[in-house]
Amino acid sequence: DDGYRLWLKYDQLGDSPQRTQYRAAAQFIAATGNAEVLKTAAAELQRGLQGLLGQPVPVVASAAGDTRRGIVLAIVPAAKVFGSPASLEGYRISTQGRNLTVMGRSGAGVLYGVYALLRQLQTSQPIAGLNLSSSPRIQYRLLNHWDNPNGTVERGYAGSSIWKWYELPQRLDPRYTDYARANASIGLNGVAINNVNASARYLTPEYLQKVKALAGVFRPYGIRVYLSVFWAAPKVIGGLKTADPLDPQVKQWWAAKSEEIYNAIPDFGGFLVKANSEGEPGPQDYGRTHADGANMLAAALGTHDGIVMWRAFVYKAGSSDRFKQAYEDFKPLDGQFAPKVLVQVKNGPIDFQSREPFHPLFGAMPKTPLVLEVQLTQEYLGFASHLVYVAPLIKECLDADTQTKGPGSTATKVVDGSLDQHRISGIAGVANIGTDRNWTGHPVGQANWYAFGRLAWDYTLTSAAIAAEWTKMTLTREPQAVATIVDVMAKSRDIYVRYTTPLGLHHIMGQSIHYGPEPWLAEAGRPDWTAVYYHKADSLGLGFDRTAAGSNALALYAPGVQKQWGDAKTCPLNYLLWFHHVGWKQPLSTGRTLWNELVTRYYTGTDSVAWMQRRWATVKPQVDAALFADVAARLQIQQREARWWRDACVLYFQTFSKQPIPAPFVPPTRTLAEVKSLVDLYQLK
Ligand code: BDP
pLDDT digits (tens, 9 = 90+) for 234-273: 999 999 999 999 999 999 999 999 999 999 999 999 999 9
Kindly report the average pLDDT of the chain as a whole number: 96
pLDDT higher than 80, residue 81: no
Index of the ligand 1 atom closest to the CA of residue 274? 13
Helical H runs in 84-162? Answer: 107-122
- Three-state secondary structure of 431-468: CCCCCCCCCCCCCCHHHHHHHHHHHHHCCCCCHHHHHH
Alpha carbons within 13 A on the beta-carbon side of 217:
23
Topology at the third CATH level for domain 140-461 = TIM Barrel (3.20.20)
Instruction: Assess whether the previous peptide bond of 502 is cis (omega < 30° from 0).
Output: no
pLDDT higher than 90, residue 319: no
Instruction: Look at residue 282 in the predicted model and tell me its pLDDT.
Output: 98
Residue 321 known to be catalytic: no
DSSP 8-state assignment for residue 197: S
Question: In which residue ranges of the chain is CATH 3.20.20.80 found?
Answer: 140-461
Beta-sheet pairing, 71-75 with 29-31 = parallel
Index of the ligand 1 atom closest to the CA of residue 373? 11
Residue 379 known to be catalytic: yes
Question: In which residue ranges of the chain is CATH 3.90.1330.10 found?
Answer: 497-544+581-682
| Residue 65 Ramachandran class (φ > 0 left, ψ -120 to 50 alpha, else beta) | left
Instruction: Look at residue 354 in the predicted model and tell me its pLDDT.
Output: 98
Model pLDDT for residues 144-165, shown as the tens digit of each residue: 999 999 999 999 999 999 999 9
Determine which residue's CA is closest to atom 11 belonging to ligand 1. 313
The helix (H) or strand (E) run that includes residue 19 is helix 17-25
What architecture is domain 497-544+581-682? Alpha-Beta Complex (3.90)
Q: Higher model confidence: residue 1 or residue 319?
A: 1
DSSP 8-state assignment for residue 27: S
Instruction: Assess whether the previous peptide bond of 126 is cis (omega < 30° from 0).
Output: no
Instruction: Look at residue 681 in the predicted model and tell me its pLDDT.
Output: 76
Of 379, 396, 436, 528, the catalytic one is: 379
Residue 328 known to be catalytic: no
Pocket test for ligand 1, best of 144, 146, 230, 278 (most atoms within 8 A of CB): 278
Say if residues 213 and 172 touch (Cβ distance below 8 Å). yes
Predicted-complex ipTM score: 0.98
Q: Where does ligand 1 bind, in terms of residues with CB under 6 Å? A: 154-155, 196-197, 274, 313, 351-352, 379
Q: Could you tell me which CATH number the domain at 17-134 has? A: 3.30.379.10
Please name which of 430, 457, 452, 444 lies closest in space to residue 389, comparing C-alpha atoms.
Answer: 444
| Residue 86 Ramachandran class (φ > 0 left, ψ -120 to 50 alpha, else beta) | beta
Q: Is 411 strand, coil or helix?
A: helix
Pocket test for ligand 1, best of 313, 346, 378, 526 (most atoms within 8 A of CB): 313
User: How far is the CA of 381 from the CAs of 323, 375, 386, 638, in angstroms?
Assistant: 20, 10, 7, 11
pLDDT higher than 60, residue 477: yes
pLDDT higher than 90, residue 323: yes
User: How far is the CA of 180 from the CAs of 130, 134, 177, 255, 448, in angstroms?
Assistant: 27, 21, 5, 29, 16
Of 2, 11, 36, 278, the catalytic one is: 278
Using the mean position of ligand 1's atoms as its centre, give its distance from the Cα of residue 154 in Å. 8
Instruction: Assess whether the previous peptide bond of 169 is cis (omega < 30° from 0).
Output: yes
Read off the pLDDT of each residue in 604-630 and give the average, rounded to a whole number: 98
pLDDT higher than 60, residue 511: yes
User: How far is the CA of 443 from the CAs of 90, 307, 380, 434, 475, in angstroms?
Assistant: 30, 34, 18, 12, 10
Index of the ligand 1 atom closest to the CA of residue 197? 9
Pocket test for ligand 1, best of 153, 155, 430 (most atoms within 8 A of CB): 155
